[in-house]
Chains A and B, each alone.
Chain A
Amino acid sequence: MSTQVQHIPMMNHVIESYFDEDDMAFSPTESFMNALPRRISILPQESKIKPFSKGDIKILLLENINDQAIVSFRDQGYQVESYRDTLPDQVLTEKIRDVHAIGIRSKTVLSKEVLKQAKNLMVIGCYCIGTNQVDLEYAANMGIAVFNSPFSNSRSVAELVLADIISLARRITDRSLQLHRGEWNNSSKHCYEVRSKTVGIIGYGHIGSQLSILAEAMGMHVIYYDILNIMAIGKAKQVSTMEELLSKADFVTLHVPETPDTKNLISWPQITAMKNGSYLINSSRGSVVNTSALISGLKSGKLLGVALDVYPNEPRYNGEQLFTNRLNKWTSELISLPNVILTPHIGGATIESQSVTGLEVSEAIANFITQGISIDAVNFPEVSLRQTNFADDALRILFAHQDIPGVLRIVNNILATHNIEKQYSESNGKIAYVITDISPVTQNDVHSIYNQLDKIPEKVTVRLIY
């Protein structure tokens, strides 16, 4: 890959915008390597199960997915096409027609219209935590499994939030900007230690709980609110209403998914309910906070500062002059306020997180392609069947169908003359998915089985691996 450098003029100097894919950074140490979870393993090669013809499997990777992903696919013999950014809809629709797998991040939208064109698509990998950008139900009905990375970025987000907390309390970003412009201001007014302050975590999931641990380690009190009862870690305390959390927390931070229930979760009444002189941090989703209410809270002095990593509308590409009033109409008002930290959705943007995400999602895609394993799929029944050392004449059948009675009987009728070594079936309401290993089979058998399964009216997809 050639070096691609975009120059972004800023404050009398030029910075490289780090699109350089060859330029691996230097800093990870042995200690970093030991921090990678051991469970990420290289795909074993003992079993002779293989897809129809692996070398023909085409994978499209968009949005500058981590090198690890590209490398691991190529090593296995897949054809990989990789792009730095997302693709415009027309190009996407064109390219998606003949790929078998696609990897995206948060900007590419795989709507029904796009997926309709994806005749060969087996699997979608979201190299991030969010899957809202994919029409999950439509994909399932097409037999396309969608995978994501549910917690590879938790630590990265939690660390960023902690830095935001201290930086807000010390007004570091303002002071640094002032000093870069020549102004010396070492006032301690409204600057605080974070020791013994209270963090209120809204949403105690993977990220919320990681943050809980870090904040307690820094000597802060932690309270949290969640729609479920969740076991507290350390000395954190769950509170029963969000109002109680808002009234007690010095720092309020959001770690909820984007759902209809969380839209404008923080709006005028919530800002009013917060403590005088508190801070708000949002690194969850842009729809969760009503930014106008936030601005009002800042202007009145109710809030002493905010840190935002996500916005209702975010640019689809990197570049200058993109984050403006045209995108979000309150932009100029927001950036005029003091002690406002704004970051471009970088909560999960670390080499470590991207690396682990890259390995994790790629492994899920590869496992689905080569073995039909759908564990951790977000829209598909989760099925896995152990590998065995097969003779050359074994066959793995992957059959996804509508979840109505009688289909499994029909399938097993078709397979009745063969020896079924193992079979596992699951459903998730609308779609059912069954993996069956049979042996021995002949070449004729394979075609015959395929044709018969293909004709079943309730069939969604059928794949054979041998």
Chain B
Amino acid sequence: MSALNIENLQNTFQNAVNLGGSPGAVSTSPTQSFMNTLPRRLSTSKQQKILKPFSTGDMKILLLENVNQTAIEIFNKQGYQVEFLKGSLPEEELIEKIKDVHAIGIRSKTKLTAKVLEHAKNLVCIGCFCIGTNQVDLNFAAKKGIAVFNSPFSNSRSVAELVIAEIISLARQLGDRSIELHTGTWNKVSNKCWEVRGKTLGIIGYGHIGSQLSVLAEAMGLHVIYYDIVTIMALGTAKQVSTLDELLNNSDFVSLHVPETPETKNLLSAPQFAAMKDGAYMINASRGTVVDIPSLIAAMKAKKIAGAAIDVYPAEPRKNGVGAFADDLNKWTSDLISLPNLILTPHIGGSTEEAQSAIGIEVSTALSNYINEGNSVGSVNFPEVSLKALNYDQENTVRVLYIHQNIPGVLRTVNNILSNHNIDKQFSDSHGDVAYLMADISSVDQSDIKEIYEKLNQTDAKISIRLLY
């Protein structure tokens, strides 16, 4: 087949694969930019073939919580139908809307519980346009064959920069000074105001964000020590310490960068504040459950802790607005805001144009790859499987995406079904109870596809099937 003109691609599809009666021709409009966003390793010297799914109508994507414009652009270029909302939805509305979408993009406020996902009959994948995935019932999604993707490190740099600014601002009581001066009070003092040079930063959790912070802090002349549940290679001259207490005893600034798990709940509580140095500072830009705020308030009132910066809270408002952050949300709120040298930010660790843009591109690309090619690398709850993209020489090749229960014998059954055809490549992996098989089979006629689909559909272990061709 000679090189194709992109503009004629759609017509070519229609001509090449005419199933007459197949529910809806998918109007994918492949573009150069889509090709360019694919990782290089997937592209061959031959032009990649754009696959369209069998027995699926136009792809419908629901984007909530003001996901970045870059995501909308990428989805639009795929030809998907995008519905975009700025806030999150209450459960009932969510259930209603999720019934007929194929993919949904959310951020940290939307809760995709088992109850909600139960109604998501057509959902193929979920994109968390943030770092956290706790708001999704990952196990339930996997069991329904729904892959979940997130953005593991697009916001790292933004969070690290915010923490550096807060370290210096706490040391200089910058927040209080500016508020005072805005109200007319001139309070030029140097007592208990410090340079950060030569001070020690203790990082709890040395992952993507913790390590980025480590590098920046060292660049600023701070000593860095860190604590993690696993042994991790230090960057620069940072030093891993073996116990949390050792970190707390030796740090002037303590910053948390751990995920939300049962083990990290109330990780910093009264005993930990007591173990900190007198006059130390605490920064929490991880998750609201990690710090016991009443203990923090007590420690600050006792002047044990000289200042704190908090970006996350046990309960956070679902939407922006005045009066949203008050005692009815978290009962200690008025107590907290009465403290001096306290920087409070509304979960903006990742709120920069750069991070949101990068997250938008990263997650929407992952979703598109999964939808268009079945590639599940990077998924947080699913087996990670990928095969090289098909190229135009591979006419009559179909990609089978078969998600099934992880029990013996399935692969044999599937291979039997496909045995009339040539299996060019096959890759299968499992993750807990769920297994995922990708197979490219060639010498497939138009009439075969439907048959393959129906046979696979009838297998017992099947969770979901997609065929792309």
Q: Footprint of B on A, CB under 8 Å?
A: 8, 10-13, 15, 17-20, 23, 25-29, 31-32, 34-35, 66, 155-156, 159-160, 162-163, 166-167, 169-170, 172-173, 175-180, 182-195, 214, 217-218, 314-315, 317-324, 331, 335, 340-346, 348-354
Contacts and interface: CB of A to CB of B under 8 A. Distances in A.
A93 B405 CA distance: 92
B174 A167 contact: yes
Contact of B194 (A11, A28, A188, A314): A28
B216 A10 contact: no
B178 A183 contact: no
B192 A163 contact: no
B353 interface: yes
Interface in B181-207: 181-200
Contacts of A34: 198
A321 B187 CA distance: 11
B320 A187 contact: yes
A340 B182 CA distance: 9
A214 B220 contact: yes
Nearest to A189: B353
A193 B352 contact: yes
B169 interface: yes
A96 B68 CA distance: 66
21 contacts: A13-B340, A18-B189, A23-B191, A34-B198, A167-B165, A176-B343, A182-B325, A186-B320, A188-B348, A192-B352, A193-B158, A214-B219, A318-B189, A320-B183, A322-B186, A341-B174, A346-B172, A346-B188, A349-B193, A352-B195, A353-B190
Nearest to B356: A188
Contacts of A169: 161, 352
A304 to B, nearest CB: 12
Interface string B338-349: 111011111110
Interface in B216-238: 216, 219-220, 223
A27 B320 contact: no
B191 A314 contact: no
A350 B179 contact: no
B280 interface: yes
Nearest to A195: B157
Contact of A166 (B164, B196, B306, B351): B164
Contact of A170 (B162, B175, B344): B162
Given A214-B220, A321-B185, 13 more contacts: A31-B200, A31-B223, A169-B161, A170-B348, A170-B351, A172-B175, A172-B343, A175-B346, A177-B179, A188-B350, A195-B354, A343-B177, A343-B181
A31 B199 contact: yes
Interface string B118-149: 00000000000000000000000000000000
Interface in B352-382: 352-356
Contacts of B166: 172
Nearest to A352: B195
B90 interface: no
B324 interface: yes
Contacts of B343: 172, 176
A18 B192 CA distance: 8
A27 B325 contact: no
B345 A175 contact: yes
A218 B164 contact: yes
Interface centre among A156, A176, A320 (most CB of B within 10 A): A176
Contact of B185 (A8, A186, A193): A8
Contacts of B322: 182-183
B176 interface: yes
B184 A322 contact: yes
B178 to A, nearest CB: 5
Q: B168, B187, B324, B352: which has the most chain A beta carbons within 10 Å?
A: B187
A155 B195 contact: yes
Nearest to B324: A184
B354 A193 contact: yes
Nearest to A179: B344
Contacts of A11: 179, 337-338
Contacts of B319: 184
Given A176-B345, A182-B322, A19 B178 contact: no
B246 to A, nearest CB: 15
Contacts of B57: none
Given A176-B344, A182-B322, A15 B176 contact: yes
B185 A320 contact: yes
A159 B183 contact: no
Nearest to B180: A10
B252 interface: yes
Contacts of A156: 195
Contacts of B337: 11-12, 180
B49 interface: no
A218 B221 CA distance: 11
Given A8-B185, A186-B351, A193-B354, A349 B190 contact: yes
B355 to A, nearest CB: 7
Contact of A32 (B189, B199, B323): B199
Contact of A13 (B278, B338, B356): B338
Nearest to A355: B190
B193 A351 contact: yes
A183 B355 contact: no
B130 to A, nearest CB: 11
Contact of A184 (B192, B200, B317, B353): B317
A367 B420 CA distance: 99
- Ordered nearest first, which 10 A-B pairs have the shortest CB separation? A166-B165, A217-B219, A163-B168, A188-B351, A349-B190, A18-B191, A26-B279, A35-B198, A27-B279, A342-B181
Contacts of B326: 182
Nearest to A342: B181
Contact of B187 (A8, A178, A195, A348): A8
Contacts of A28: 194
A351 B344 CA distance: 25
Given A160-B174, A166-B164, A191-B353, A344 B187 contact: yes
B195 A184 contact: no
A435 to B, nearest CB: 35
A156 B198 CA distance: 12
Contacts of A162: 164-165, 168, 220
B275 to A, nearest CB: 15
B348 A26 contact: no
B192 A29 contact: no
Given A25-B279, A32-B198, A323-B184, A179 B345 contact: yes
B277 interface: yes
